[in-house]
């Protein structure tokens, strides 16, 4: 199940900030940190990010659960890089049979994994602390995105959890028709394809019905839309974005100062 | 103030040969409450879409004129509100209040006026929860009630309801009927499409029947229309009050046991239940929404593994396979013994034509091509689908799709048939055909399990009943 509801304290000082401001701050952080390949800048950024989490009302345990796929893939990347990297520079740390781990390999791998976390953590935090409706409202009101896009996507997301139930139902219905794959991998692939196709057909029909129902309530009207819920973009929201830029910039500056900086390009 | 005028109105969807509706002359005065009847395919939904201004000029070909308040309906959109069948695809927002506010926002109503309007609309439909309630946490009936509030918040003077209770259980349907009754006032005209007249008649003062070939077949007060055309309408499939359906109880005692459920459970969907299914007997399972009726049907059909207890087939049903539970059987073996009919027929369609759909099961169970062809032809004929043999299953009407889904389950001649709400939303004609077909199967020694809300169906066919309770109430 996809769950986009906020699971944190919504009244925390930074969680209350405008969703567009939070999104912009996260994007800014990510873009700045992507610029370097060294482990120092992302390590500092992660330290900043973790320190700021309480201000977003995020409990670490909740975050760890959200970020579980990220943690698992991080371990995978680390192991793969350490074992199979082509360039084995630096001091030899461990040598056991075919396994050769050097300091250069370890630093590169660590840099990549830390970078992944430093870039992803702000995004995960924003998703965890933002109500989807508020985000759509703010995108329309503050980022001037078309309402048709923002609310259309919001309404479509409501139907996503249905897809999982639908998949199970279609699979059982196939079995009830005498269609199963048994142990044949090719038949299994074909069955997967045809189930996915049925799911897609159903999803498109539902989406079309939803679109017609929305238009019947004037969504396609040419008169300017009014807003029942206001999203304010105040000074604090601007400061959040500026703060994110300053922190990410500081992390980068430290990395340059200690000579660890390795630019992505050049 | 809104009056409807149709003069020789017709509409043909782009790319279709047939006119969806044609030669229609109709006047509906301000404040009238009209029930619109007609066989499936008579163009009721197209007419509602036209009145709601939802047929763009480039999406088909128009004949004659249609006017709401003397204007093209596409220019009179703010006068008209339209409620559809399926609540799931009408709700837009995550919170109830936001959803009702969606329409007024689209119309550009000043923010200060929106929330009072939302509260008023929620009050008019008797909504029991606050604005912040999550729309996902509502039952189907409550969701449809909320969707009605969303329509009423726009204060339409013409309210169009397209089978608003067809997807709801009896309790949900009653919620909507009460909400519509409470919401109607002297300033609102109503045009309602509904098969179940018992639900609809308290709401209307005029009945219009569309003729299948085009034009109006009958028009007048409910009493006058049903006195003159009741018999013919009932034969066409309309649920006319005072035309009871025949009873088809078993003439002989049930035969041997086919399947037994022993302390079967799948929490939190289904609490413990034990029952036996016999040959030559129609067993009806009923109970409130959320009691796990559909789950029980899937368990008995060998499609789902139970968390506790077991389903045991007898040697009579499964021969040497009786020692393994049905959910472990290979699919081709399963369909030769137990046929399942799902609530939504479209879930079960696998191929691209009606005839292929019927041939699939027999082919999977290893019949010869001649046997397959004979089975397909017999079923097409028996279920009035011969003319549709080459049609795509997804293009069928509700009644046709239902008949096809039952036919596909019968194609492999299973001894036991498990059906989930087979009569749901069906017109009277299809309903009677299904009862007749199930009765024949039962009388020929097949076992039949039906989970259903349909009290008339149970009264007409069931030889034995099992009532399920809500799992929370049991524990």
Residue A2 has pLDDT above 50, yes or no: no
B 124-143 residues with CB < 8 A to A: 135-136
Under the banding of pLDDT at 50, 70 and 90, the label for residue A6 is: low
A 119-158 residues with CB < 8 A to B: 131-133, 151, 154-155, 158
- How would you classify the pairing of strands B189-193 and B206-210? unpaired
Q: Determine the 3-state secondary structure of B231 from DSSP.
A: helix
Query: How many CA atoms does the CB half-sphere of A120 hold within 13 Å?
Result: 16
List CB contacts (< 8 A) between B366 and chain A: none
Closest CA to A65 of A7, A116, A122, A25: A7
Q: Which residue of B has its CA nearest to A208?
A: B89
For B4-236, CATH number out of 3.40.50.300, 1.10.760.10, 2.60.40.10, 3.40.50.1860 equals 3.40.50.300
List CB contacts (< 8 A) between B89 and chain A: 159, 206, 209-210, 213
Q: Does B104 touch chain A (CB under 8 A)?
A: yes
Domain boundaries, chain A: 19-137+232-257, 144-216
Q: How far is Cα of residue B283 from the mean position of the Cα atoms in its chain?
A: 22
Would you tell me the crossing angle of helices B354-364 and B398-410 to the nearest 10 degrees?
A: 20
Q: How far is Cα of residue A99 from the mean position of the Cα atoms in its chain?
A: 34
Could you tell me if B242 and B223 are in contact, meaning their C-beta atoms sit under 8 angstroms apart? no
Could you tell me if B239 and B451 are in contact, meaning their C-beta atoms sit under 8 angstroms apart? no
Q: Does B75 touch chain A (CB under 8 A)?
A: no
The fold of B257-474 is Rossmann fold (3.40.50)
Closest CA to A88 of A104, A99, A77, A108: A104
Closest CA to B157 of B33, B6, B31, B5: B31
- The minimum CA-CA distance between A248 and chain B, rounded to whole Å, is 35
Please report the pLDDT score of residue A104 as a whole number. Answer: 81
Q: State the Cα–Cα distance between residues B332 and B360, nearest whole angstrom.
A: 10
Contact yes or no for B334 and A175 at CB 8 A: yes
Contact yes or no for B409 and A172 at CB 8 A: no
Q: In chain A, count of helices (H) and strands (E)? A: 9, 2
Closest residue to B350, CB basis, from A158, A194, A230: A194
Under the banding of pLDDT at 50, 70 and 90, the label for residue A80 is: confident
- The minimum CA-CA distance between B361 and chain A, rounded to whole Å, is 6
- How would you classify the pairing of strands B206-210 and B33-37? parallel
Closest residue to B105, CB basis, from A179, A206, A225: A225
Chain A and chain B share a number of CB contacts under 8 A equal to 149
How many other CB atoms sit within 10 Å of the CB of residue A230? Answer: 9
List CB contacts (< 8 A) between B360 and chain A: 177-179
Mean residue pLDDT of chain A comes to: 87
Instruction: Please compute the mean of the pLDDT values over residues A151-161 and round it to a whole number.
Output: 88
**Domain limits, CATH 3.40.50.300, in chain B:** 4-236, 257-474
Please report the pLDDT score of residue A248 as a whole number. Answer: 93
Tokens for B272, please give them.
Answer: 């413990």
Tokens for B401, please give them.
Answer: 């799709």
Contact yes or no for B92 and A154 at CB 8 A: yes
Q: State the Cα–Cα distance between residues B323 and B332, nearest whole angstrom.
A: 17
What is the ipTM for the molecules in this complex?
0.84
Q: Which residue of B has its CA nearest to A197?
A: B350
Q: What is the pLDDT of residues A10-67, one digit of tens each?
A: 788 888 899 999 999 999 999 998 888 888 999 999 999 999 988 988 888 877 887 7
Instruction: Please compute the mean of the pLDDT values over residues A99-123 and round it to a whole number.
Output: 85
List CB contacts (< 8 A) between A172 and chain B: 298, 303-304
Tokens for B147, please give them.
Answer: 């969707």
List CB contacts (< 8 A) between B135 and chain A: 158
Contact yes or no for B88 and A159 at CB 8 A: yes
List CB contacts (< 8 A) between A159 and chain B: 88-89
Contact yes or no for A177 and B151 at CB 8 A: no
Instruction: Please compute the mean of the pLDDT values over residues A224-233 and round it to a whole number.
Output: 92
Could you tell me if B9 and B66 are in contact, meaning their C-beta atoms sit under 8 angstroms apart? yes
Q: Which residue of A has its CA nearest to B75?
A: A221
Closest residue to A218, CB basis, from B77, B89, B365: B77
DSSP labels, B33-81: EEEEE--TTSSHHHHHHHHTT-S-GGGEEEEEEEEETTB-GGG-GGGEE
Q: State the Cα–Cα distance between residues B106 and B194, nearest whole angstrom.
A: 29
In a mutagenesis test of the B interface, which of A134, A148, A176 is the best target, namely the one with the most B β-carbons within 10 Å? A176
Place of tokens 């500081």: A250
Long-range contacts formed by A87-96: CB under 8 A, 24+ apart: none
Contact yes or no for B98 and A225 at CB 8 A: no
Run means of pLDDT, 10 residues per run, chain B, 475 residues: 86 87 93 88 88 92 94 92 91 94 95 94 90 88 93 94 85 87 88 85 92 87 92 84 84 91 90 94 89 93 94 91 91 94 89 93 90 94 91 86 93 94 86 92 95 92 92 65
Tokens for B65, please give them.
Answer: 């004129």
The alpha carbons of chain A give a radius of gyration, in whole angstroms, of 24
Contact yes or no for B349 and A198 at CB 8 A: yes
Asked, as a colleague might, if the bond just before A196 is cis with ω within 30 of 0, I would say: no
- The minimum CA-CA distance between B228 and chain A, rounded to whole Å, is 36
Please report the pLDDT score of residue A1 as a whole number. Answer: 34
Please report the pLDDT score of residue B465 as a whole number. Answer: 95
Contact yes or no for B303 and A176 at CB 8 A: yes
The alpha carbons of chain B give a radius of gyration, in whole angstroms, of 24
- The minimum CA-CA distance between A54 and chain B, rounded to whole Å, is 26
- The minimum CA-CA distance between A251 and chain B, rounded to whole Å, is 39
Closest residue to B350, CB basis, from A177, A217, A225: A177
Under the banding of pLDDT at 50, 70 and 90, the label for residue A5 is: low
Contact yes or no for A218 and B103 at CB 8 A: yes
């Amino acid at each position: 199940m996809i769950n986009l509801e906020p699971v944190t304290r919504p009244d925390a000082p930074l969680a209350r900030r405008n969703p567009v401001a939070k999104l912009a701050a996260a994007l800014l952080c990510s873009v700045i940190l992507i610029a370097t390949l060294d482990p120092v800048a992302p390590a500092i950024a992660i330290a900043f990010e973790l320190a700021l989490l309480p201000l977003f009302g995020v409990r670490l345990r909740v975050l760890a659960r959200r970020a579980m796929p990220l943690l698992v893939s991080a371990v995978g990347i680390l192991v793969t890089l350490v074992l199979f990297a082509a360039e084995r520079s630096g001091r030899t740390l461990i040598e056991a049979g075919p396994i050769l781990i050097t300091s250069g390999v370890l630093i590169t791998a660590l840099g990549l994994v830390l970078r992944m976390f430093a870039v992803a953590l702000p995004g995960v935090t924003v998703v965890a602390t933002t109500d989807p409706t508020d985000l759509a409202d703010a995108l329309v009101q503050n980022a001037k995105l078309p309402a048709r896009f923002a609310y259309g996507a919001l309404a479509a997301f409501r139907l996503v959890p249905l897809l999982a139930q639908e998949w199970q139902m279609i699979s059982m219905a196939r079995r009830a028709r005498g269609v199963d794959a048994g142990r044949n991998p090719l038949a299994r692939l074909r069955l997967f394809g045809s189930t996915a196709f049925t799911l897609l057909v159903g999803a498109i029909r539902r989406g079309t019905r939803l679109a017609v129902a929305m238009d019947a309530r004037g969504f396609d009207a040419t008169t300017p839309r009014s807003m029942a819920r206001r999203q304010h973009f105040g000074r604090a929201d601007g400061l959040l974005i500026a703060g994110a830029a300053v922190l990410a910039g500081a992390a980068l500056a430290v990395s340059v100062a200690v000579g660890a900086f390795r630019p992505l390009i050049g | 103030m809104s009056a409807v005028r149709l003069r020789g109105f017709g509409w043909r969807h782009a790319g279709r040969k047939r006119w969806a509706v044609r030669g229609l002359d109709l006047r509906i005065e301000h404040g009238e409450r009209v029930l619109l009847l007609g066989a499936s395919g008579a163009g009721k939904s197209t007419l509602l879409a036209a009145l709601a201004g939802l047929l763009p000029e480039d999406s088909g070909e128009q004949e004659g004129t249609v006017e709401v308040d003397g204007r093209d309906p596409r220019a009179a959109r703010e006068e008209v509100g339209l409620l559809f069948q399926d609540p799931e695809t009408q709700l837009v927002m995550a919170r109830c209040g936001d959803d009702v506010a969606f329409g007024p926002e689209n119309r550009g109503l000043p923010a200060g006026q929106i929330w009072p309007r939302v509260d008023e609309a929620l009050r008019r439909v008797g909504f029991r929860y606050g604005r912040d309630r999550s729309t996902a946490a509502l039952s189907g009936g409550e969701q449809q009630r909320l969707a009605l509030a969303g329509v009423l918040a726009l204060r339409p003077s013409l309210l169009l309801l397209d089978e608003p209770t067809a997807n709801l259980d009896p309790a949900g349907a009653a919620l909507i009927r009460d909400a519509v009754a409470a919401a109607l006032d002297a300033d609102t005209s109503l045009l309602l499409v509904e098969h179940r007249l018992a639900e609809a008649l308290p709401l209307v003062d005029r009945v219009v029947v569309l003729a299948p070939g085009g034009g109006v077949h009958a028009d007048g007060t409910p009493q006058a229309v049903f006195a003159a055309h009741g018999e013919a309408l009932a034969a066409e499939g309309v649920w006319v009050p005072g035309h009871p359906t025949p009873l088809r109880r078993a003439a002989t005692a049930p035969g041997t046991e086919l399947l037994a459920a022993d302390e079967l459970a799948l929490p939190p969907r289904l609490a413990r239940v034990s029952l036996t299914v016999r040959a030559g007997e129609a067993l009806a399972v009923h109970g409130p929404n959320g009691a796990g009726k559909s789950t029980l049907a899937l368990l008995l059909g060998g499609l789902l593994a139970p968390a506790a207890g077991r389903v045991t087939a007898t040697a009579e049903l499964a021969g040497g396979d009786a020692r393994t539970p049905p959910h472990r059987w290979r699919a081709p073996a399963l369909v030769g013994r137990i046929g399942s009919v799902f609530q939504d027929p479209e879930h079960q369609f696998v191929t691209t034509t009606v005839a292929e759909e019927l041939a699939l099961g027999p082919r999977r169970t290893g019949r010869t091509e001649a046997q397959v062809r004979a089975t397909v032809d017999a079923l097409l004929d028996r279920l009035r689908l011969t003319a549709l043999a080459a049609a795509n299953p997804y293009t069928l009407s509700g009644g046709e799709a239902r008949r096809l889904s039952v036919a596909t389950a019968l194609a492999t001649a299973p001894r036991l048939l498990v059906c989930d709400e087979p009569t749901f939303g069906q017109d009277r004609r299809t309903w009677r055909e299904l009862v007749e077909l199930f009765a024949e199967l039962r009388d020929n020694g097949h076992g039949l399990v039906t989970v259903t809300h349909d009290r008339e169906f149970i009264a007409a066919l069931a030889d034995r009943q099992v009532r399920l309770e809500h799992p929370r109430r049991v524990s």
